[in-house]
Amino acid sequence: MSAFDTRCVHAPGEDRDPFGASVAPLYQTATFRQERATEFGAYDYTRSGNPTRDDLEARLAALEGGAGALAYASGMAATGALAHLLSPGDEVVAGDDLYGGTTRLFERLWAPRGITVRYADASDPDAVASACTARTKLLFVETPTNPLLRIADLRALAALARARGALLAVDNSLLSPVLQRPLELGADLVVASATKFLGGHADVTAGMVAAADPALLERLAFARNAEGSALAPFEAWLLARGLKTLALRVRAQCAGARRVAEFLAAHPRVCAVHYPGLPGHPGRAIHAAQASGAGAVLSFATDDAEFSRRVVEGCRLFSIAVSFGAVHSVITLPGKMSHASIPPALRERLAPPPDLIRLSVGIEDPVDLLADLAQALDHAARERIAS
Ligand SMILES: *Cc1c(COP(=O)(O)O)cnc(C)c1O
pLDDT for 339: 60
3-state secondary structure of 269: coil
CB distance 74 to ligand 1 below 6 Å: yes
CB distance 171 to ligand 1 below 6 Å: yes
Residues 20-37 have pLDDT tens digits of 999 999 999 999 999 888
Average pLDDT over residues 354-370: 97
CB distance 75 to ligand 1 below 6 Å: yes
pLDDT for 17: 87
Residues 187-205 have pLDDT tens digits of 999 999 999 999 999 999 9
CB distance 235 to ligand 1 below 6 Å: no
Distance from C-alpha of 71 to C-alpha of 178, rounded to nearest angstrom: 18
| Cβ–Cβ < 8 Å for 232, 73 | yes
Which residue has the least CA distance to atom 6 on ligand 1? Answer: 75
Residues 204-231 have pLDDT tens digits of 999 999 999 999 999 999 999 999 999 9
What are the angstrom distances between the C-alpha of 167 and each of 82, 211, 320? Answer: 10, 11, 37
Measured in angstroms, how far is the CA atom of residue 193 from the centroid of ligand 1?
4
Please confirm, yes or no, whether 47 is among the known catalytic residues: yes
Which of these, 268, 269, 203, 214, lies nearest to 237 by C-alpha position? Answer: 203
Measured in angstroms, how far is the CA atom of residue 106 from the centroid of ligand 1?
14
| Cβ–Cβ < 8 Å for 112, 118 | no
Strands 167-171 and 136-142: parallel
Residues 319-361 have pLDDT tens digits of 999 999 999 999 999 988 766 666 777 776 667 899 999 999 9
CB distance 142 to ligand 1 below 6 Å: yes
Distance from C-alpha of 148 to C-alpha of 358, rounded to nearest angstrom: 9
CA angle 337, 339, 340 (to 5 degrees): 70
- What letter does residue 352 receive in the DSSP assignment? P
Nearest-10 Cα torsion for 108, 114, 115, 119? 70
Q: Which atom of ligand 1 is nearest to the CA of 98?
A: 13
Which residue has the least CA distance to atom 1 on ligand 1? Answer: 193
**pLDDT interval class at 1 (50, 70, 90):** confident
Which residue has the least CA distance to atom 7 on ligand 1? Answer: 75
Which residue has the least CA distance to atom 4 on ligand 1? Answer: 75
pLDDT averaged over every residue in the chain: 95
Please confirm, yes or no, whether 171 is among the known catalytic residues: yes
pLDDT for 16: 84
Measured in angstroms, how far is the CA atom of residue 104 from the centroid of ligand 1?
12
Which amino acid is present at 218?
E
pLDDT for 20: 92
